[in-house]
Chain A
Amino acid sequence: MRLTAKSTLADIALTVGARLQRHGITAVLTGGACVSVYTDGSYVSKDADYVLQGTIRQSDLDTALAALGFARRGDRYVHAVVPFYLEFPPGPLAIGTDIDIQPVEVTVAGGSALLLSPTDSCRDRLAAFYHWQDRQSLSLAVAIARHQAIDLAVIREWSRDEGSGAGYEEFLRELRRDRRANPPERRSRRAGPRKTTASREDTVVGRQHRRRIGLPPHRRR
């Protein structure tokens, strides 16, 4: 895929991830670009953050990214046309104190890319809310939950481990408020109550968006 000035952050982030994979570099997309992917571009960050896995030589990274037109400037990679830059914050891949993170793989034109799951991306934003009282991060966590199925049980347990039970309650309040303001599609009575389990990770609201970012289609129950 050719990157242009009109490419979205989500497209760029996933294309770069796929290119790195092709060069044998395992990089997991995290941070704001992940939010952009999961909220269908309703949030746009200025950069794409990847956490590299294993030992990577700087020259290999330079070569892989040069193929897409990115050049290293200081500790980031910039592009002559694309308005977003790339950064590689130090690992390990962690959300708060949790280092047992399983990224998801999505298929994009030209390969596959790794990124945080919707639940982990939501936790990633909540970590900023819990630790910095950053309310923008709270609203982004809610936005992810609006667009994607998330596992609330996992988030609740992790929040407790982070010592942020009160923060989680506030997240739930915001989530309920958001759902009242933006009610989800009407569900048939036969479908039963909504479940918030890991299996719901696969039931993303936006079907077209799912297809675009390479997630498997919505499963009918």
Chain B
Amino acid sequence: MVVKTLSSPFGGLVRTRTMIALRLLGSSFPRELSRVLVTPVSAVSRALAGLERDALVAGRLVGRTRVCTLNPAYFAKHQLDAYLSRLADADHELREQTDRLRRRPRRAGKPL
């Protein structure tokens, strides 16, 4: 059993860290979130489904990928953004993970 070192005000640690990750990344998809959170895709997908039901997160299909963001039409969006930013300040591990993520474009065909 993992000792809880962070609070989980959004109902569970995966849910809370998914929210923080989406705040930091702007938008993401289950597999990317799974890498960032070092959590199985199934757990991230479950968390996202619950957060969507609560209208905190909104997802849409882009091709075959479900891209998720914090719900921009959520009635307390500004307050939620501020709160998540503060929570992100406290989660150094997650900040490090997101800082390592390359998201800028790479021209097609360019060697890695």
Residues on A lying within 8 angstroms of B by beta carbon are: 75, 89-90, 92, 94, 96-99, 127-128, 131-132
Minimum CB distance partner of A96 in chain B: B73
Q: Is the CB of A97 within 8 A of B53?
A: no
Decide if A90 touches B78 in the complex (CB within 8 Å).
no
* Cα distance, A128 to B77, chains bound together (Å): 14
Given contacts A75-B53, A90-B55, contact A132 B60 (CB under 8 A): yes
**Which listed residue (A92, A97, A131) contacts B78, Cβ 8 A?**
A97
Q: Number of contacting residues on B, CB 8 A?
A: 11
A127 touches B53 (CB 8 A): no
Which B positions have Cβ atoms within 8 angstroms of A? 53-55, 58, 60, 72-73, 75-78
Number of A-B contacts (CB under 8 A): 22
Beta-carbon contact of B54 and A90 below 8 Å? yes
The distance in angstroms between the C-alpha atoms of A98 and B75, with both chains bound, is: 7
B22 to chain A, nearest CB (A): 15
Report the minimum CB–CB distance from B23 to chain A (whole Å): 16
When the two chains form the complex, which single residue of A75, A89, A96 contacts B75, counting CB atoms closer than 8 Å? A96
Contact of A92 among B54, B72, B75, B77 (CB under 8 A): B75
21 contacts between A and B (CB under 8 A): A75-B53, A89-B55, A90-B53, A90-B54, A90-B55, A92-B75, A94-B75, A96-B73, A96-B75, A97-B75, A97-B76, A97-B77, A97-B78, A98-B75, A99-B75, A127-B73, A128-B73, A131-B72, A131-B73, A132-B60, A132-B72
Q: How far is the CB of A73 from chain B (nearest CB, A)?
A: 15
Shortest CB–CB separation between residue B12 and chain A, in angstroms? 17
Q: Give me the 10 closest cross-chain CB pairs, A-B, nearest first.
A: A94-B75, A131-B72, A127-B73, A131-B73, A90-B55, A99-B75, A97-B75, A96-B73, A90-B54, A89-B55
A127 to B60, CA, bound (A): 16
Nearest residue in A to B60 (C-beta to C-beta)? A132
A9 to B89, CA, bound (A): 47
